[in-house]
Chain A
Amino acid sequence: MPEQPDMTPDASYELLGARDVHVSIDGVQILREINLKIGVAERVAIVGANGAGKTSLLRALSGTLPVTSGEVILCTEPITRLSRATIARSIAVVGADLALPFATRADELVALGRLPHGSGPSGPTAHDRERAAAALERVGAAHLAARDVRTLSAGERQLVAIALGLAQETPILALDEPTVHLDLKHRVEVADLLVSLADRARTVVAIFHELDMVRDLFPRVIVMKGGRIVGDGAPSEVLSATRVADAWEIPVERAARL
Chain B
Amino acid sequence: MRSQQSLRTLLTAGVALLAAVAILAIGVGSVAIPPTEVIGILMHGIGVGTGAAADAGSTAIVVELRLPRIAAAILVGGALAVAGGVFQSLLRNPLADPYVLGTSSGAALGAAVAILVPISGVAWELGGVQLAAFAGALAAVGIVWRVAGIGSGEERIASVLLVGYAVASLLAAALSLVMLMSGANLRAIFGFLLGGLDGVTWPRLAAAALPLVLATLLLAIRGRPLAALLLGDEGAAHLGVEVRRERRISVALASLATAAAVALVGLIGFVGLVVPHLIRLAVGPDPRAVLPLSAIGGALLLLVADSVARTIGIPVGVITALIGAPFLLWLLHRSRRGYAL
Closest to B91 in A: A101
Contact of A121 among B93, B220, B284 (CB under 8 A): B220
Across the interface, do B240 and A121 meet the contact criterion of CB distance under 8 Å?
A: no
Binary A-proximity of B229-244 (CB < 8 A = 1, otherwise 0): 0111011011111100
Across the interface, do A122 and B288 meet the contact criterion of CB distance under 8 Å?
A: yes
A91-107 with Cβ < 8 A to chain B: 91-93, 95, 98-105, 107
Across the interface, do A108 and B285 meet the contact criterion of CB distance under 8 Å?
A: yes
Contact of B239 among A105, A115, A121, A150 (CB under 8 A): A115
The smallest C-beta distance from A194 to any residue of chain B, in angstroms, reads 18
User: Is A188 an interface residue, CB under 8 A from the partner?
Assistant: no
Chain B residues whose C-beta falls within 8 Å of the C-beta of A64 in the assembled complex = 234, 237-238
Across the interface, do B4 and A122 meet the contact criterion of CB distance under 8 Å?
A: yes
A207-247 with Cβ < 8 A to chain B: none
Across the interface, do B339 and A115 meet the contact criterion of CB distance under 8 Å?
A: no
User: Is B224 an interface residue, CB under 8 A from the partner?
Assistant: yes
Chain A residues whose C-beta falls within 8 Å of the C-beta of B228 in the assembled complex = 112, 115
Across the interface, do B240 and A103 meet the contact criterion of CB distance under 8 Å?
A: no
In the docked arrangement, what's the CA distance between A116 and B131, Å? 41
Contact of A150 among B1, B3, B234, B340 (CB under 8 A): B340
Across the interface, do B7 and A123 meet the contact criterion of CB distance under 8 Å?
A: yes
In the docked arrangement, what's the CA distance between A121 and B11, Å? 13
Across the interface, do A107 and B220 meet the contact criterion of CB distance under 8 Å?
A: no
User: Is B18 an interface residue, CB under 8 A from the partner?
Assistant: no
User: Is A85 an interface residue, CB under 8 A from the partner?
Assistant: yes
Across the interface, do A115 and B227 meet the contact criterion of CB distance under 8 Å?
A: yes
Choose the segment among A33-41, A43-51, A124-132, A250-258 that binds chain B (4+ C-beta atoms closer than 8 Å).
Answer: A124-132
The smallest C-beta distance from A113 to any residue of chain B, in angstroms, reads 7
Across the interface, do B1 and A112 meet the contact criterion of CB distance under 8 Å?
A: no
Given A101-B230, A102-B280, residue A124 in contact with residue B3 (CB < 8 A): yes
User: Is B289 an interface residue, CB under 8 A from the partner?
Assistant: yes
User: Is B103 an interface residue, CB under 8 A from the partner?
Assistant: no
Across the interface, do B4 and A105 meet the contact criterion of CB distance under 8 Å?
A: no
In the docked arrangement, what's the CA distance between A102 and B88, Å? 9
Chain A residues whose C-beta falls within 8 Å of the C-beta of B231 in the assembled complex = 98, 100, 112
In the docked arrangement, what's the CA distance between A36 and B232, Å? 29
Chain A residues whose C-beta falls within 8 Å of the C-beta of B227 in the assembled complex = 112, 115
User: Is B222 an interface residue, CB under 8 A from the partner?
Assistant: yes
Contact of A84 among B93, B240, B285, B340 (CB under 8 A): B240
User: Is A148 an interface residue, CB under 8 A from the partner?
Assistant: yes
User: Is A2 an interface residue, CB under 8 A from the partner?
Assistant: no
Closest to B225 in A: A115
B239-253 with Cβ < 8 A to chain A: 239-242
User: Is B92 an interface residue, CB under 8 A from the partner?
Assistant: yes
Across the interface, do B238 and A148 meet the contact criterion of CB distance under 8 Å?
A: no
Closest to A122 in B: B4
Chain A residues whose C-beta falls within 8 Å of the C-beta of B221 in the assembled complex = 120-121
Chain A residues whose C-beta falls within 8 Å of the C-beta of B238 in the assembled complex = 62, 64, 88, 91-93, 95
Given A102-B94, A122-B4, residue A112 in contact with residue B239 (CB < 8 A): yes
Closest to A119 in B: B224
Closest to B220 in A: A121
In the docked arrangement, what's the CA distance between A107 and B2, Å? 11
> Which of B94, B228, B231 has the largest count of A CB atoms less than 10 A from its CB?
B231
Chain B residues whose C-beta falls within 8 Å of the C-beta of A104 in the assembled complex = 230, 284-285
Across the interface, do A113 and B239 meet the contact criterion of CB distance under 8 Å?
A: yes
Across the interface, do A148 and B234 meet the contact criterion of CB distance under 8 Å?
A: no
User: Is A118 an interface residue, CB under 8 A from the partner?
Assistant: yes
Chain B residues whose C-beta falls within 8 Å of the C-beta of A125 in the assembled complex = 3-4
In the docked arrangement, what's the CA distance between A104 and B235, Å? 15
Across the interface, do A99 and B280 meet the contact criterion of CB distance under 8 Å?
A: no
User: Is A31 an interface residue, CB under 8 A from the partner?
Assistant: no
Given A101-B94, A102-B94, residue A120 in contact with residue B240 (CB < 8 A): no
User: Is B338 an interface residue, CB under 8 A from the partner?
Assistant: yes
Supplied contacts A64-B238, A100-B230, A103-B338, 18 more A-B pairs, CB within 8 Å: A84-B237, A88-B240, A92-B238, A95-B235, A102-B94, A103-B280, A105-B284, A112-B227, A112-B286, A115-B227, A121-B221, A121-B223, A123-B2, A123-B223, A124-B4, A126-B3, A129-B1, A148-B340
What 8 pairs between A and B have smallest CB-CB spacing?
Answer: A88-B240, A121-B221, A101-B92, A85-B240, A116-B240, A102-B285, A123-B288, A93-B238
Task: Enumerate chain B interface residues (CB-CB to A < 8 A).
Answer: 1-4, 7, 88-89, 92-94, 220-224, 227-228, 230-232, 234-235, 237-242, 280, 284-286, 288-289, 292, 338-340
A-B pairs with beta carbons under 8 Å apart, 16 shown? A64-B234, A64-B237, A64-B238, A83-B240, A88-B239, A95-B235, A101-B89, A103-B280, A103-B339, A103-B340, A108-B284, A112-B239, A121-B220, A121-B221, A122-B4, A123-B4
